[in-house]
Structure 1
Amino acid sequence: MKNYELGSFILRVVLGVSFLTHGILKFSTGIAGTAGWFSSIGLPGFLAYIVAVIELVGGIAMILGIGTRIVAVLFAIVMLGGIFTVKLSIGFVGNGPMAGWELDLAYLAMSVYFLLNGSGKYALFTKKNG
């Protein structure tokens, strides 16, 4: 096992678990509330359902290494949406009660890594070239 292969595997699992956890949280605390919050900030409420499904299903797929590049694009879109619609005005490190966009940027960078490199060696389905 090469270090970069292990590092890529760890990064993929951490990213997948992070998104999966956020998806589970949205559904378990009441997706209707999340949809209402989306509406309150000027976004269509139905986007909350789309984001939650991307986080939940995409998180599982990312952990397993299935459709990694497609999931990475979806994660990147979600992160860019979050940064530009909510977090940018709060600042990089936040404003006290609300976190800034530093973690969103880290998730975005991780997603771009997997978009460019694929799932890596330790995935359920791998191709020779990534």
Structure 2
Amino acid sequence: MNLLRRNAEVGLLIVRVLTGIIFLVHGISKFQGGIAGTQGFFQSVGIPTFLAPIVGGLEIVGGIALILGLFTRIAGVVLAVIIVGALLTAKMGQPFMMGTEFDYLVLFTSLQMALAGSALLSLDSVIFGKKARGENRRLAEN
């Protein structure tokens, strides 16, 4: 593996793990002290309360999936959809520099995982073997 390709894989690994940690922590926080607080917040911004445990659960599972590099692309899509939902509801109308810049950053890192995946130190690479590694290699060469 040449140095440029290796650096790209290390960069994707860092983005994957840190994005996973962010979603894992945010998902866990939705359940701390009971889910009722999160349901109340969801209701206050017009989101059905039954979605609170679903969103929290998806953030936890998606965060763990990214950390482990398991179904990285699928996790990236799911987490990007959650962030788009947050931007269109809870964050709607907020100025960019008043908190939404973090949401956009996490949206873009989730989209990066959905589009590029991450083969380095990933379960995807172990489970799917050469197919996952070869796909990322072809993308890095183009």
Under a length normalisation based on structure 2, what TM-score does the superposition of the two structures give?
Answer: 0.83
- Give the conservation status (yes or no) of the 8 Å contact 2:46–2:89: no
Point out the structure with the larger helix share. 2
Q: In the alignment, is residue 60 of structure 1 matched against residue 59 of structure 2?
A: no
Counterpart CA distance in 1 for 2:33 and 2:83 is 21
1:31 aligns with 2:35: yes
User: How far is 1:90 from its partner?
Assistant: 1.5
Matched residues, number: 125
Map 1:15-54 → 2, pairs under 5 A: 15-54=19-58
Report the CA distance between 1:58 and its aligned residue: 0.8
Residue aligning to 1:97? none
- Looking at CA atoms only, which structure, 1 or 2, has the larger radius of gyration? 2
| Counterpart residue number, 1:87 | 91
1:72 and 1:114 in contact (8 A); partners too: yes
- Deviation (angstroms), 1:88: 3.1
What's the offset of the Cα at 1:119?
A: 2.3
The CA deviation at 1:49 is 0.9
Give the aligned residue type for 2:110: S
1:118 aligns with 2:122: no
Contact 1:88 1:101 in 2 (8 A): no
Q: Give the SS at the match of 1:89.
A: coil
Consecutive unaligned residues in structure 2, runs of 5 or more: 126-131, 137-142
The question of 1:78 aligning with 2:77 is answered no
Off by >4 Å, runs of 4+ in structure 1: none
Map Cα deviations across residues 50-88 of structure 1 (whole Å, 9 max, x no partner). 110011111111100001111111111111011111213
Answer whether contact 2:9 2:118 (CA < 8 A) is retained: no
TM-score scaled to structure 1, two decimals?
Answer: 0.90
SS in 2 for 1:90: coil
